[in-house]
């Protein structure tokens, strides 16, 4: 069956409406130069919003003829689309939300390349510079709101979850929304969409308009997790590490729903930061939650954390099963503590500057076969450093599962090999096997082929 496609012109929204001549020229050059493939991939993901595909290569293969080019016109710029997915249009007109998300893609990719990476003003091997770059990306996207009390709940969880788990995320989102809280997720389907969907109803009931439904993604993952249509503030960070830092700097509370290796990566990232001695007094409510059917899942996660990172890590979160009201109340009360702590530290409500994030959590990890095999997975090191190493292992598996570069590397060189201390490798292998058995690695109905081998 042939895929319907649309060729048309789109005038972007937001900050792209008012550009200097130099900015217009840079955007035009980006759609033809080194950023061409990156821009094409991310734009296609946004135009494919709502699809049930979690394979970047497959998506690109289905739309081989798709092209996007930035043109200078009397109105500023125009996006010329060739053979775009027809699902992004209604009666020949692009859906407004998709137009906004498409504009965000162009804005963020070009801003990072020209104003941060290409400016010469940021040494991206320096920790403070990396944090400043994250701040600038979020500010340029108008995501930092001063003089507003803490209200952003970051919701993490998988794109491949059961119907019961998805419905539970909606119930939690509804309770968050009733309490005036806003939602931030990885912007995709599943546990990233459910809380937003629930919050929209609650915000409508409370006459809170517009609610904030923030999605934060990165180029390697966006094609596998296209932004869901509820997202009304989208940021494309340049890599997974800056994406994760954006979550923890922007959010005021974090709720973890069931998920797979990507969710485990997020958990290890945050726990590693919270275990750093400089962050011992940081206030941030952290809850693991799901319906009663997910109790065993969180038991496995909890046991893995206890074995690998110890009881100190377990003190950083609370597991709450099948109780959306209690979860929302706990997060709301925690945000009061966040507000008091930030006020005492004279820190901004809209960006957590005081949080110490080590370079191990900031420097991009390239999941090559050599790098995966060389991970220092042993307990003869500070716990927060081990957490960073474990986070990289899960990040590599995510790449091998869904990212185009990772998929290509697995085909060429075989499975990633993950080596380390036996006492760590056995629980790691058991956890990953459980994810596979519970169909948390790929969307339901697809056959999962492991991209890794754990050497126990």
Q: Are residues 249 and 203 in the same domain?
A: yes
> Domain boundary residue among 293, 316, 345?
345
CATH at 249:
3.40.50.450
> Domain boundary residue among 288, 320, 345?
345
Task: Tell me: pLDDT of 3 over 60.
Answer: no
pLDDT in tens, 372-405: 999 999 999 999 999 999 999 999 999 998 887 8
pLDDT in tens, 30-70: 666 677 888 888 898 899 886 666 666 677 777 888 988 88
> Domain boundary residue among 299, 318, 345?
345
pTM, entire model: 0.92
Q: Are residues 220 and 141 in the same domain?
A: yes
CATH at 50:
3.30.1850.10
How far apart, in whole angstroms, are the C-alpha atoms of residue 375 and residue 195?
34
Output the six-digit token pair for 418. Answer: 């993950």
Q: Are residues 322 and 369 in the same domain?
A: no
Q: Are residues 107 and 147 in the same domain?
A: no
Q: Are residues 249 and 303 in the same domain?
A: yes
Residue 146 resides in a domain: yes
Q: Are residues 95 and 190 in the same domain?
A: no
Residue 350 resides in a domain: no
Residue 37 resides in a domain: yes
Task: Tell me: pLDDT of 1 over 50.
Answer: no
Residue 449 resides in a domain: yes
Q: Are residues 227 and 284 in the same domain?
A: yes
Task: Tell me: pLDDT of 184 over 60.
Answer: yes
pLDDT in tens, 102-121: 999 988 988 898 889 878 88
Residue 128 resides in a domain: no
How far apart, in whole angstroms, are the C-alpha atoms of residue 413 and residue 306?
34
The residue ranking higher by pLDDT, 226 or 336, is 336
Q: Are residues 428 and 331 in the same domain?
A: no
Residue 202 resides in a domain: yes
Task: Tell me: pLDDT of 332 over 70.
Answer: yes
Q: Are residues 53 and 170 in the same domain?
A: no
- pLDDT classification of 221: cutoffs 50, 70, 90: confident
Q: Are residues 327 and 212 in the same domain?
A: yes
Task: Tell me: pLDDT of 73 over 80.
Answer: no
The domain total for the chain is 3
Q: Are residues 50 and 16 in the same domain?
A: yes
pLDDT in tens, 255-287: 999 999 999 999 999 999 999 999 998 999 999
Residue 80 resides in a domain: yes
Supply φ then ψ for residue 173, to 5 degrees.
-60, -40
Residue 18 resides in a domain: yes
Q: Are residues 379 and 339 in the same domain?
A: no
Q: What range defines the domain where residue 13 resides?
A: 5-121
């Amino acid at each position: 069956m042939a895929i319907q496609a649309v060729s048309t012109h789109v005038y972007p929204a937001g900050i792209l409406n008012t550009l200097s001549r130099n900015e217009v020229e840079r955007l035009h050059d980006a759609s033809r130069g080194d950023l061409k493939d990156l821009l094409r991939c991310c734009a296609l993901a946004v135009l494919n919003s709502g699809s049930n595909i979690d394979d970047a290569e497959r998506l690109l293969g289905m739309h081989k003829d798709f092209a996007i080019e930035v043109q200078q016109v009397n109105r500023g710029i125009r996006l010329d689309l060739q053979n775009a997915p027809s699902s992004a249009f209604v009666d020949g007109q692009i859906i407004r939300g998709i137009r906004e998300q498409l504009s965000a893609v162009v804005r963020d990719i070009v801003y990072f390349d020209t104003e941060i990476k290409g400016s010469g003003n940021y040494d991206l091997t320096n920790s403070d510079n990396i944090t400043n770059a994250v701040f600038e990306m979020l500010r340029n996207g108008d995501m930092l709101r001063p003089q507003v009390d803490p209200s952003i709940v970051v919701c993490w969880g998988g794109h491949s979850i059961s119907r019961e788990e998805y419905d539970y995320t909606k119930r939690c989102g509804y309770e968050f929304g009733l309490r005036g809280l806003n939602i931030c997720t990885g912007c995709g389907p599943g546990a990233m969409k459910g809380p937003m969907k629930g919050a929209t109803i609650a915000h409508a009931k409370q006459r809170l308009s517009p609610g904030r439904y923030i999605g934060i993604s990165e180029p390697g993952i966006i094609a596998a997790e296209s932004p869901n249509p509820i997202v009304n503030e989208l940021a494309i960070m340049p890599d997974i590490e800056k994406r994760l830092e954006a979550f923890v700097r922007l959010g005021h509370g974090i709720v973890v729903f069931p998920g797979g290796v990507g969710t485990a990566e997020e958990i290890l990232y945050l726990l590693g930061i919270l275990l750093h001695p400089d962050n011992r007094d940081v206030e941030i409510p952290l809850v693991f939650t799901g319906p009663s059917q997910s109790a065993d899942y969180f038991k496995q996660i909890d046991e893995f954390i206890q074995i690998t990172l110890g009881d100190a890590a377990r003190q950083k979160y609370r597991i709450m099963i099948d109780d959306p009201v209690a979860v929302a109340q706990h997060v709301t009360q925690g945000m009061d503590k966040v507000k008091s702590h930030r006020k005492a530290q004279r820190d901004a409500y809209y960006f957590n500057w005081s949080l110490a994030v080590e370079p191990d959590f900031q420097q991009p990890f390239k999941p090559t076969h050599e790098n995966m095999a060389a991970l220092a997975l042993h307990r003869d090191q500070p716990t927060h450093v081990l957490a960073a190493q474990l986070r990289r292992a899960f990040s590599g598996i995510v790449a091998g599962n869904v990212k185009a570069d990772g998929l290509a590397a697995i085909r060429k060189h075989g499975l990633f090999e993950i080596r380390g201390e036996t006492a760590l490798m056995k629980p790691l292998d058991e956890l990953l096997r459980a994810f596979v058995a519970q169909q948390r690695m790929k969307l339901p109905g697809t056959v999962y082929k492991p991209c890794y081998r754990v050497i126990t």
